Amino acid sequence: MKHEPVELAIIGGGAAGLMAAATAAAAGARCIVIERKARVGAKMLMTANGRCNFTKDVPVERMLEDIGGDVADFVAPALRAFPPQAIVAGFRARGLKTRRMADGRIFPASGNAADVVHVFGDMLRDEAIPLLCNCPVTGIQRVKNGFIVGLGGFTLWAGNVLLATGGLSFPKTGSVGDGLEFARALGHCIEPCRAGLTGFECPPHPPARYERAQAAVIAGGVEVFRSAGEVEYETKGVTGAAVYNCSRFVARRNLRDWTLRLETPEGTSELRAPRMRPLKEAIVTIGGVSRGEIDPQTMCSRIVPGLYFAGEVVDIDGPTGGYNLTLAFATARLAVKSMLRNRLAG
Ligand SMILES: Cc1cc2nc3c(=O)[nH]c(=O)nc-3n(C[C@H](O)[C@H](O)[C@H](O)COP(=O)(O)OP(=O)(O)OC[C@H]3O[C@@H](n4cnc5c(N)ncnc54)[C@H](O)[C@@H]3O)c2cc1C
């Protein structure tokens, strides 16, 4: 029997890892998905309160504008190569019925996130892609012609590795930051992690939910950001899409002295630099593997040949509304396509 390395070890069976497996399978590449939890896609099941807003049907240029700044520049090649419309078409081709909201957000027509995860599960089964669950990767070592992937009691030899281990929020879903440690050990810089889309603490307020509200960030006496959408007062503070987008703006810019202005049918109120809810409760992690050390045209490490990245493990994030799953899918597809191109060139 001839022993050969697996061509691609995909570490993490979340949104990015599963899309990577789908891309590799379509090209006939020999890959394996390794997932620390007993099942894949745990975080995807939580998205949009279990409904999974998996992309937004808007032109890519509009999506990039909404993402903004250096992050938009970095993810542009991935998004242009796999725009939202192609993501929707891919799911539909695999039998998923979808529903488009008036603002372009796309959900499974059933309103059930499990249907999106099932598309990937069926694909893994149909394409006979090996899937190791309950199997946390414990370390990655670069060796001649590839990597040795540590899996607790045994090891796996892989020609290429894709790190798709997610961020740091909702650690019970498996996103505990292992990938950041692996990247660091392989020589990458990690940008400090903080909560991205999250709520704020506020003085006690009766529970209330306003669907058509506005939230704005005021800094230096000037309105520097505004988001329209839901504002909700809960026991733990104020949340909702408009508020989440403000938290992302503030966290990305590390603002200290600022004010959150909330405009709801009950009137306008202001909170002076309210405390953000913790990272473990956030929708997305800001920070992660530094973008400067990853080639945005390939998602390959500029430091370690054969090492690729996708999804939230990288210092990328977008606003609410399907942007973050879109980024996970698009960066994963670009990483695998680049790995395959490299194989042909090599
Ligand atoms: C409550 C909530 C609601 C959200 N709603 C939306 C939404 O509606 N639309 C949207 O676009 N985005 C939404 N998001 C964000 C979106 O879910 C994430 O951005 C996306 O899942 C990131 O994908 P990922 O593959 O990078 O990471 P993840 O989906 O977190 O997957 C990472 C995987 O890697 C595995 N892993 C980690 N370490 C190891 C290891 N050592 N060995 C093996 N496996 C490992 C984990 O177990 C996990 O399965 C939401 C997030 C949350 C928390």
Q: How many domains does the chain have?
A: 2
Query: Within 13 Å and on the Cβ side, how many CA atoms surround 66?
Result: 21
Tokens of 77: 């090649």
Residue 45 lies in a domain: yes
Same domain, 122 and 239: no
Confidence of residue 345 (pLDDT cuts 50, 70, 90): low
Of 277, 301, 316, which residue constitutes the final position of a domain? 277
274 with 202: CB under 8 angstroms?
yes
- Could you tell me if the CB of 42 is within 6 A of ligand 1? yes
Same domain, 186 and 254: no
Sort residue 293 into left (φ over 0), alpha (ψ -120 to 50) or beta: alpha
Residue 148 lies in a domain: yes
Q: How far apart are CA 234 and CA 205, in angstroms?
A: 8
Sequence-distant (6+) residues with CB within 8 A of 287 are 167, 190, 191, 192, 193, 194, 315
Same domain, 88 and 59: yes
Structural domain for 271, as ranges = 208-277
For all residues of the chain together, what is the average pLDDT?
A: 96
Q: What is the pLDDT of residue 290?
A: 98
Same domain, 44 and 63: yes
Q: How far apart are CA 162 and CA 17, in angstroms?
A: 8
- Could you tell me if the CB of 37 is within 6 A of ligand 1? yes
Distances (CA, A) of 36 to 11, 40, 173, 346: 9, 9, 9, 32
Residue 201 lies in a domain: no
Q: Whose CA is nearest to atom 5 of ligand 1?
A: 47
Q: Whose CA is nearest to atom 35 of ligand 1?
A: 12
pLDDT tens digits along 288-341: 999 999 999 999 999 999 999 999 999 999 999 999 999 999 999 999 999 999
What is the CATH number for 312?
3.50.50.60
Other beta carbons within 10 Å of 221: 6
Per the DSSP assignment, residues forming a β-bridge with 155 are 150
Q: How far apart are CA 153 and CA 303, in angstroms?
A: 28
Residue 219 CA from chain centroid, whole number: 29
Residue 236 lies in a domain: yes
Percent of the chain residues topping a pLDDT of 90: 94
Q: Whose CA is nearest to atom 20 of ligand 1?
A: 325
Confidence of residue 192 (pLDDT cuts 50, 70, 90): very high
What is the arithmetic mean of pLDDT over 162-188?
Answer: 97
- Could you tell me if the CB of 284 is within 6 A of ligand 1? yes
Same domain, 217 and 132: no
What is the CATH number for 231?
2.60.40
Residue 1 lies in a domain: no
Of 253, 277, 301, which residue constitutes the final position of a domain? 277
- Could you tell me if the CB of 71 is within 6 A of ligand 1? no
pLDDT tens digits along 153-168: 899 999 999 999 999 9
Whole-number Å distance, alpha carbon 324 to ligand 1 midpoint, is: 9
Same domain, 61 and 163: yes
Of 236, 260, 277, which residue constitutes the final position of a domain? 277
Q: How far apart are CA 219 and CA 225, in angstroms?
A: 9
- Could you tell me if the CB of 317 is within 6 A of ligand 1? no
Same domain, 286 and 227: no
pTM above 0.95?
yes
Sequence-distant (6+) residues with CB within 8 A of 118 are none
Residue 184 lies in a domain: yes
pLDDT tens digits along 61-97: 999 999 999 999 999 999 999 999 999 999 999 999 9
Residue 200 lies in a domain: no
Q: In which residue are the tokens 């939890």 written?
A: 37
What is the SS3 string spanning 295-329? ECCCCEECCCCCEEECHHHECCCCCCCCHHHHHHH
Same domain, 84 and 162: yes
Same domain, 222 and 181: no
